[in-house]
Amino acid sequence: MNNKMVYGVGDRVDFVVGDFIQLAPSILGDFLFLAPPWGGPMYNKVETYTMDMLQPIDGYKLFQIAQSITPNMITFLRGNVDLGQVESSLGSRLHL
């Protein structure tokens, strides 16, 4: 949060911390950073982590909710996530 002051954008950046699914209907924004709960250490117990493994809602629904806020988002993805599924969910908007 200190970076917004360092770069002089403190009046244009808001950090919202909370349950995304509960907060999403009230969020308006130009940009969104998602760091979903990948299941703790369980995510690396599988060779490929699929979008439907994400809980409490699957990754497809999570991206759909996020895109209702803004098409501009960065998502923290684990190394073993199925990128084909991410691509099919985001289509041409995906940039890796």
pLDDT at 89 over 90: no
Domains held by the chain: number: 1
Domain range for 75 is: 51-96
Question: Which tokens hold the place of 63?
Answer: 């991206």
Share of the chain above pLDDT 90, in %: 21
Is 59 contained in some domain? yes
pLDDT in tens, 46-86: 899 899 988 888 999 999 999 999 989 999 988 899 999 98
Choose among 34, 2, 3: nearest CA to 16: 34
Within-domain flag for 16: no
Tokens of 64: 């759909």
Percent of the chain with pLDDT over 70: 95
Cα 43 from Cα 47, distance rounded (Å)? 9
Specify whether the CB–CB gap between 90 and 96 falls below 8 A.
no
3-state secondary structure 28-39: CCCCEEECCCCC
**40 or 66, higher pLDDT:** 66
